[in-house]
Structure 1
Amino acid sequence: MRKLLVCVAPLALLAACATQPGDDLASLDDLGGSSYGLFLAGQGALNDGRGAQAVAYFEQAQAGGAEDDLIAERAFTAAVLAGDITKAAALAPSGDGASEATKRMGRMVQAVEAMSSNQGKAARLLLAPERVGFPHKGAAALLSPWASAMAGDAEGAVVRPELRNDKVVKYFGLLGQAFLYERAKRYDEAETDFKALTGGDDPGDMVLLAYGGFLERRGKRLDAVAVYDKGLADQPSNSILLAAKARAAAGKSAPPAPTLRQGAAQALMAPAATMLSAKQDQIGLAYLRMALRLDPNRNEAWLMVGDLMEAAGDIDSARAAFARPKPGAPEYAAARAKLAWSFQSAKDSETALKMAREAAASGDLDAKVTLADMLRVNEQFAEASQILTEVIAARPGDWRLLYARGVANDRAGRWAEGEADLRAALKIRPDDSEMLNYLGYSWIDRGEHLPEALAMVQRAVASNPKSGAMIDSLGWAYFRLGDYKKAVEKLEEAIELEAGDPDINNHLGDAYWRIGRRDEAEFQWRRVLTLDPDAKMKAEVTTKLASGLGPAGPAQSPRVAGP
């Protein structure tokens, strides 16, 4: 996994999530009295993800007499990345020597820090369009109405932000306006905005939950249930929508409207997601840090920070972020799943399974699905199938669960049960390429239903023409049907896409053997042994090489089973 490095350009805000000081800092004397040495130490700490240490080194460098603008910018950057927005606001460069990009981010940080203590007037001045330029104009526009509300400007608070050709500001500005209309007790106008947001075919969880919560607060619980059902029609397993629907249907307390700080934090989430989708991870991370300064309990922001840190290779910081959501929070199951998978990725399956079992013991269905997936990865297929059976009883008709159980049953040696699950899942989702490939290949490898299986993997390849695994399935189908020339053609195509796959190399070796290219066949089999094959394949390939007889079985195609 790559490290996210901070380059010399201002505001390369990548990595550096940790807030723990870690090891004792080297002092100015330790580094030979060199402020430059402290700068290098700070840069190294920043590159390694030790944000708090980096801030301390840069501050020591300044205390030692260094007045370099670059050191000031680095200290500011490190504080933002470490999540210390208060310190970052104090360190924000403003002098003539500071880069304009850093000064723009500095004003954003200072505005958020002002809003964190309800200083709306100061924040509004900092967020003025002439003070915040590209690329922060959208984020500033979405924050400004909340700053106006904090400043006591009731009319300014409900002015919908506009930014030409910016669909994010248009859409999420409407959401913010809806919340602020509700806060002003202008309920009809709030509902008009909410209806506009949720009127499309795919309004998204955030606005459905926002509108549903508004309706619950207005005592319209049946209408709220209908809103949640709209989302569940496309996402029947969405645990957050299911929990909201259950709450509304049971007449439990409605979720409170967001506070001004919470609303401002939510306003930053859309710009953060936009930056991340545009591969601007540095700015996206900065926005997430600012959102968490306004609302430290914004769990989806913690999950996004964790994902960024994990991608950067900063596993400790990722785990710290994933550990923030507490039991009972809608995001808790997802957070525990991410935390468990981080241990699984580190080859600590014992800890991963322990965490997954603890989460599943709460009865949360998503946590049980995570445990089942973890068990499958660790080849405990029978238990995975058992747990999935429990979840399917509560969520009948979910093709993903049927598919997962089908795979688990297959790998547990219960093919008849696995085949039944796969057929049932494919009936619900007949064009899913992954299932078409899995069931088709399973039949091909068993020599069953070959014409039907061939058609299935052909459809899968048509949907994913760059998938080496699916093209391998197609090549293996031709092999089983006795068309070895066609098999070689497809398997060579597959190996160009996934040269390191032991299955494809093994299949290609068999196909070469059948058309008389014996030396090339032996080359492919020897290559298989270098690619960490499983024990069964290793034994099979070793036998083929030792015997000099090639693949076992007749040269003609296997029997085609009936329907």
Structure 2
Amino acid sequence: MIRSILSTTALAALVTLTAQSGVAQSIAGPYLAGRQAARHSDFEAAARYYTQALSRAPERAGLMEATVTSHLGVGRIDRALPIAKLMESRGLRSQSAHMTVIADLLAREEYDTFLARDVETLGIGPLVDGLLTAWAEIGAGLEDEGLARFDEIASERGVRGFALYHKGMALAGLGDFEAAEALFVDEAGPLQQTRRGAMARAEVLSQLGRNEDAIASLRAAFGSSSDPELSAMVLALEAGEVLTFTHITSARDGLAEVFYSLAGALRQEAGPDYTLIYGRVARHLRPDHVDALLLNADLLEEMEQFDLATAAYKQVPDDHPAFHAAELGRAAALRQSGKQDAAIEVLEQLAKRFGDLPIVHSTLGDVLRQQDRFEEAVAAYDIAIDLTGEEERGAWFLHYARAISLERLKEWPRAEADFRRALELNPGQPQVLNYLGYSLVEKQIKLDEALAMIEEAVAASPDSGYIVDSLGWVLYRLGRYDEAVGHMERAVELMPVDPVVNDHLGDVYWAVGRTREAQFQWMRALSFVDPDDADAEADPDRMRRKLEVGLDQVLEEEGAAPLKVANDDG
């Protein structure tokens, strides 16, 4: 993988340079800074530092490799290209360098030059090389050879789905929709069943005059749920319009599809940094490939490169059918980077423009709830619930999320009704059982039902520290201290550095007379409190007070009921 190349070949270059102290001193700083940036997937900084180091030691193969890879991670094929060409001219084998040179040739549609390359020494990998060659042959006017090559690839073990998906796309791109549909229906593989594959097939069916079949195929793939892009397609089909086949309009589009489809497959097996490079090349070959853009932005989020992800999402044109999806992604990236107000603003604007989309309102509700803006969250969830059919898969969560907001607003009757509605829609859901059961115990009502709910939740999620903690804590609140001990100890095993869980265990230990162990747990809990977390549930002042005077005195000071007699053998 490319990450391993960064950590081995570039390191080898530095080790070699160390023997030449003058050169080593001049590049050590930028090299180490680049390596650190690369380890954190900060491609922008890595490219800058590696380029600086390479300018001082231009002969070093490891630095060339690292610099090319970093530029690819940012999507700057043009900056990686001169270094990649130099590496090839020197006979250096490098997947990232070969990918860069190939991307440039294909973007300029120099198919003959690409086909003349020796894939054994200048290729990317067997599957990608084969698919690229087939599409390049079609681009060079050798359609029969290209289609035959897809068949040849399909005969190889494990890659039949890839080959036939691309052959179907190629046939449709060449206008042979009958043959394309025959492949889609008879050789349906995993790629044909993706969102992109399903939409391509709908366009093929429409070209064949089979709009009703196209609608049925979309319903089978996506159910009754929809989004602006799918809705627009269905409306056009219902109106009798013939959909243009937009997924492949040229061989270059097909070549971009190779990198995009492989990126989707690699995501299940490779790291996001390696997968991102395939997505970057897909967009280089086809700048309007919005699906590739969304994939890249999602990968950047996964690598916690939130600023780059935000910038990527913002590149989706506001008139594109996927604009709402991009804005939802941008809001998520802003949230994760700590820019909560900016995220809320994005979602509020989106709600004005796409007011009929439940996901927009539910997402806005989630962000508002996490910011403790519960009244506004309830209003957003109200709209989302009104727009969502109760039979929809996610309807239970909307009631659950609204119930949490209502509970925080101390509107318990409405909250309880929502919790119970969520359980009707999703019976046995452990999060709902846990929250509702815990709330009932805190209110000292329906205690038998509450305990049964939490026990059911633990049975469903025995490795959830939060839920196991709830069971132990509920038993403690019921005065069943001995029974609580084992569950609280298990919760701490599952969540050893959670301050609330450790604090709870301390209280339980105190209740059974194990005072020294209780004090130890309170000290542990106090050490785990994050002073910068304003939303933390842990109360460090209460922990300190318990350490000073004990839990019994704290309860008396709070006006709470005293503990029952401890089971301490007298």
TM-score range, shorter chain: 0.7 to 0.9
Answer yes or no: is 1:53 the counterpart of 2:48.
Answer: yes
Q: Which region of structure 1 is more displaced relative to structure 2, 285-294 or 105-114? A: 105-114
The match for 1:350 is: 341
Post-superposition Cα deviations, 1:222-252, rounded to whole Å, max 9, x if no partner, equal 222212211333x836665445434433556
Q: How far apart are 1:540 and its partner, in Å?
A: 6.0
For 2:24 and 2:496, the matched residues in 1 are separated by 50
Change in CA separation of 1:278 and 1:392 when aligned onto 2, cut-off 3 Å: same
The match for 2:552 is: 548
Answer yes or no: is 1:94 the counterpart of 2:98.
Answer: no
The match for 2:295 is: 304
Q: How far apart are 1:543 and its partner, in Å?
A: 6.9
Select 1:277's aligned residue among 256, 268, 273: 268
For 1:353 and 1:442, the matched residues in 2 are separated by 29
The match for 1:158 is: 147
The match for 1:375 is: 368
The match for 1:447 is: 444
The match for 1:16 is: none
The match for 1:429 is: 426
Unaligned runs of 5+ in 2: 12-20, 38-42, 566-570
Change in CA separation of 1:540 and 1:44 when aligned onto 2, cut-off 3 Å: closer
The match for 1:322 is: 313
For 2:294 and 2:191, the matched residues in 1 are separated by 27
Q: Which region of structure 1 is more displaced relative to structure 2, 84-93 or 376-385? A: 84-93
Equivalence map 1:5-404=2 (5 Å): 7-10=6-9, 37=26, 41=30, 44-45=33-34, 47-48=36-37, 49=43, 50=45, 53-54=48-49, 56-57=51-52, 60-61=55-56, 66-92=58-84, 93-95=87-89, 98=92, 100=93, 102=94, 104-126=95-117, 128=119, 130-131=120-121, 136-159=125-148, 160=150, 162=153, 167=158, 169-196=159-186, 203-233=193-223, 236=225, 240-251=229-240, 254=243, 256-257=245-246, 258-260=248-250, 261-363=252-354, 365=357, 366-397=359-390, 398-404=395-401
For 2:475 and 2:218, the matched residues in 1 are separated by 48
For 2:299 and 2:378, the matched residues in 1 are separated by 32
Q: Which region of structure 1 is more displaced relative to structure 2, 430-439 or 198-207? A: 198-207
Q: Secondary structure at 2:325's aligned position in 1?
A: helix
Post-superposition Cα deviations, 1:14-58, rounded to whole Å, max 9, x if no partner, equal xxxxxxxxxxxxxxxxxx996972585366346433355347535
Q: Secondary structure at 1:361's aligned position in 2?
A: helix
Q: Secondary structure at 2:6's aligned position in 1?
A: coil
**Aligned AA for 1:497?**
L
For 2:305 and 2:286, the matched residues in 1 are separated by 23
Post-superposition Cα deviations, 1:376-415, rounded to whole Å, max 9, x if no partner, equal 1111111111112112222222223222222222223222
For 1:456 and 1:138, the matched residues in 2 are separated by 52
Q: Which region of structure 1 is more displaced relative to structure 2, 80-89 or 40-49? A: 40-49
Aligned partners of 1:440 and 1:454 also within 8 Å = yes
For 1:328 and 1:445, the matched residues in 2 are separated by 50
Q: Secondary structure at 2:267's aligned position in 1?
A: helix
Equivalence map 1:462-481=2 (5 Å): 462-481=459-478
For 1:449 and 1:145, the matched residues in 2 are separated by 68
For 1:173 and 1:127, the matched residues in 2 are separated by 21
Aligned partners of 2:65 and 2:96 also within 8 Å = no
Q: How far apart are 1:548 and its partner, in Å?
A: 3.4
The match for 2:18 is: none
Q: Which has the higher helix share?
A: 2
**Aligned AA for 2:133?**
S
Q: How far apart are 1:325 and its partner, in Å?
A: 1.4
Aligned partners of 2:552 and 2:563 also within 8 Å = no
Q: Secondary structure at 2:463's aligned position in 1?
A: coil
Change in CA separation of 1:6 and 1:338 when aligned onto 2, cut-off 3 Å: farther
For 1:336 and 1:290, the matched residues in 2 are separated by 23
Q: How far apart are 1:152 and its partner, in Å?
A: 0.9
**Aligned AA for 2:132?**
L
The match for 1:460 is: 457
Change in CA separation of 1:181 and 1:256 when aligned onto 2, cut-off 3 Å: closer
Select 2:492's aligned residue among 491, 495, 511: 495
For 1:151 and 1:219, the matched residues in 2 are separated by 31
Aligned partners of 2:365 and 2:381 also within 8 Å = yes
Unaligned runs of 5+ in 1: 13-31, 558-563
Q: How far apart are 1:475 and its partner, in Å?
A: 1.6
**TM-score between the two structures when normalised by the length of structure 1:** 0.81
Q: Which region of structure 1 is more displaced relative to structure 2, 488-497 or 534-543? A: 534-543
The match for 1:418 is: 415
**Aligned AA for 1:389?**
D
**Aligned AA for 1:553?**
A
Change in CA separation of 1:301 and 1:186 when aligned onto 2, cut-off 3 Å: closer
Aligned partners of 1:371 and 1:384 also within 8 Å = yes
Runs of 4+ in 1 over 6 A off after TM superposition: 199-202
Aligned partners of 1:111 and 1:124 also within 8 Å = no
Q: How far apart are 1:80 and its partner, in Å?
A: 2.1
Aligned partners of 1:309 and 1:318 also within 8 Å = yes
Change in CA separation of 1:58 and 1:295 when aligned onto 2, cut-off 3 Å: farther
**Aligned AA for 2:71?**
A
Q: How far apart are 1:97 and its partner, in Å?
A: 6.1
**TM-score between the two structures when normalised by the length of structure 2:** 0.80
Matched residue count: 525
Post-superposition Cα deviations, 1:399-436, rounded to whole Å, max 9, x if no partner, equal 23222222222223222222222222222222433333
Q: How far apart are 1:466 and its partner, in Å?
A: 2.4
For 1:121 and 1:295, the matched residues in 2 are separated by 20
**Aligned AA for 2:480?**
D
Q: How far apart are 1:131 and its partner, in Å?
A: 4.2
Q: Which region of structure 1 is more displaced relative to structure 2, 81-90 or 372-381? A: 81-90
Q: How far apart are 1:370 and its partner, in Å?
A: 2.3
Aligned partners of 2:344 and 2:368 also within 8 Å = yes
> What percent of counterpart residues are identical?
27
**Aligned AA for 1:548?**
D
Post-superposition Cα deviations, 1:186-237, rounded to whole Å, max 9, x if no partner, equal 222211222246588993323222212322343432222212211333x836
For 2:312 and 2:342, the matched residues in 1 are separated by 18
For 1:123 and 1:33, the matched residues in 2 are separated by 41
Change in CA separation of 1:335 and 1:121 when aligned onto 2, cut-off 3 Å: same
Post-superposition Cα deviations, 1:303-349, rounded to whole Å, max 9, x if no partner, equal 33334434445443232222221223343333323333333333332
Post-superposition Cα deviations, 1:122-166, rounded to whole Å, max 9, x if no partner, equal 3334484x3466x72222233332212111111123232526775
Change in CA separation of 1:72 and 1:437 when aligned onto 2, cut-off 3 Å: same
For 1:8 and 1:529, the matched residues in 2 are separated by 39
Change in CA separation of 1:351 and 1:436 when aligned onto 2, cut-off 3 Å: same
